[in-house]
Structure 1
Amino acid sequence: MRSLIVISHPDTHSLTHAVADRIAAAIQATDPAHEIEIADLAAEGFDPRYSAADLAQFRGQAGPPADVSSEQARIDRADALILVYPVYWWSMPGQLKGWIDRVFTNGWAYDERPDGSVAKLLQRLRVHLVGVGAADIGVYERHGYAAAMRTQIDHGVFGYCGAPVLTSEFLVPTGAPYPSSALEQARDIGGSIAGARHATALGIGRR
């Protein structure tokens, strides 16, 4: 099994990076054979700007730019996609949104057909979303931020491509000490990801 962890945060000492590291460690502790690839968008300098070349690809006038093809190949190698990011203005950071805008292209992530129907091309991919926030969960729920983010991201992006979202969590301050509680949640998320994939590979739970 192989997971691709995509991180969007410029500070390698941030809680976001610590959460991603804890998820990765828990996956490998649960299933040592599970391969992990890390995509650190900030460190790698991924350009999130949707360019004329991206538009030409969308219109079917050209193939995808080289950096987009490279990111698609990373995802194609993975069984699971794990996005770990800080919550900025009740959404994901601009660099991660630009990554989705550019990488999840027509003809690769989905296919808009002449009859108006849409083929969902990423049904094999399992998605795990981990947002790291500063406001407590009550704020997310009272103002509808959690539901709005899940509508935009879980349904609007991955539902459109057919990729099932198996984890959708906000790691935020709770009654427990923070950020240690977030790291504990990250460990549990990683263990669940590896445990489910490992059980599937072994045929456990199949009827």
Structure 2
Amino acid sequence: MHALIVVAHPDPASLTHAVSARIAEGISASSPQHSFELADLAAEGFDPRFTQPDIALLLKKGEPLPEVAAEHARLNRADALVLVYPVYWWSFPGLLKGWIDRVFTQGWAYDEDADGKLHKKLQWLKVHLIAIGGANQRTYARHGYFGAMKTQIDHGIFGYCGASVSTSELLLPSDAGFPASQLDAARTIGERIFASRAVIREEEVET
């Protein structure tokens, strides 16, 4: 089985990158048959801007640009999608949100028929979300920030497309043993990504 690990942080020395590396280690350690691809959006220079060609694609009046088609191909090769990102203003960084905006397109991630019925096209994809925050657990709990993030990201994005969110973790500096405990947790997440589950591809899902 194959995982696409998407990391959105401009600093390769960041904790975000260290966590993504440990997740990759865990995947490799779990079985020699499992593999991963690391998509470093900042290093690759992915353009998060939603422009006129993206609108044309949304309206079914154009084809995906090469960079969008390349991301579709990477995701089509994957059995699991792992997103590792710092929390900016209680959500994704702009780079990762732009990746979602441009890549999770109508016709590929979801579609609507002439009667307006929604067809969720990513039912084969398992999603693992690892957010790295700067506030403490008490702040997230007191204001309901993590619950709000789950509503807008887990349900609002991936649920809309039919993808199943298997992991939704929030790693914080207030966690006991920070940062070593977070790196240990990341490796464990990687080891468990493909544990005891069958992969259901889109063509196997009844519509």
* 1:37-116 equivalence runs, <5 A: 37-116=37-116
- Per the alignment, residue 10 of structure 1 pairs with 10
Letter of the 1:104 partner, please give it.
F
Between the two proteins, the alignment pairs up a number of residues equal to: 199
Show CA shifts across 1:2-27 (max 9, x none).
Answer: 00000000111100000000000011
- Give the gaps of 5 or more residues in structure 2: 200-207
For residues 131 and 175 of structure 2, the distance between their equivalents in structure 1, rounded to whole angstroms, comes to 18
Asked if the contact 1:31/1:195 (under 8 Å) is kept, the reply is no
For residues 37 and 15 of structure 2, the distance between their equivalents in structure 1, rounded to whole angstroms, comes to 19
| CA drift at 1:30 | 1.2
For residues 137 and 116 of structure 2, the distance between their equivalents in structure 1, rounded to whole angstroms, comes to 39
For residues 29 and 35 of structure 1, the distance between their equivalents in structure 2, rounded to whole angstroms, comes to 10
Show CA shifts across 1:44-74 (max 9, x none).
Answer: 0000000100001111111111100000100
For residues 160 and 64 of structure 2, the distance between their equivalents in structure 1, rounded to whole angstroms, comes to 20
Asked if the contact 1:110/1:119 (under 8 Å) is kept, the reply is yes
RMSD of aligned C-alpha atoms? 1.1
For residues 83 and 175 of structure 1, the distance between their equivalents in structure 2, rounded to whole angstroms, comes to 20
| CA drift at 1:175 | 4.7
Asked if the contact 1:130/1:167 (under 8 Å) is kept, the reply is yes
- Per the alignment, residue 205 of structure 1 pairs with none
Instruction: Return structure 1 stretches of 4+ with deviation > 3 angstroms.
Output: none
- Per the alignment, residue 144 of structure 2 pairs with 144
For residues 133 and 20 of structure 2, the distance between their equivalents in structure 1, rounded to whole angstroms, comes to 14
For residues 32 and 22 of structure 1, the distance between their equivalents in structure 2, rounded to whole angstroms, comes to 16
Secondary structure, aligned partner of 1:10: coil
- Per the alignment, residue 161 of structure 2 pairs with 161
| CA drift at 1:185 | 1.2
Asked if the contact 1:79/1:125 (under 8 Å) is kept, the reply is yes
The farther-off stretch of 33-42 and 131-140 is 131-140
For residues 23 and 167 of structure 2, the distance between their equivalents in structure 1, rounded to whole angstroms, comes to 12
Asked if the contact 1:87/1:133 (under 8 Å) is kept, the reply is yes
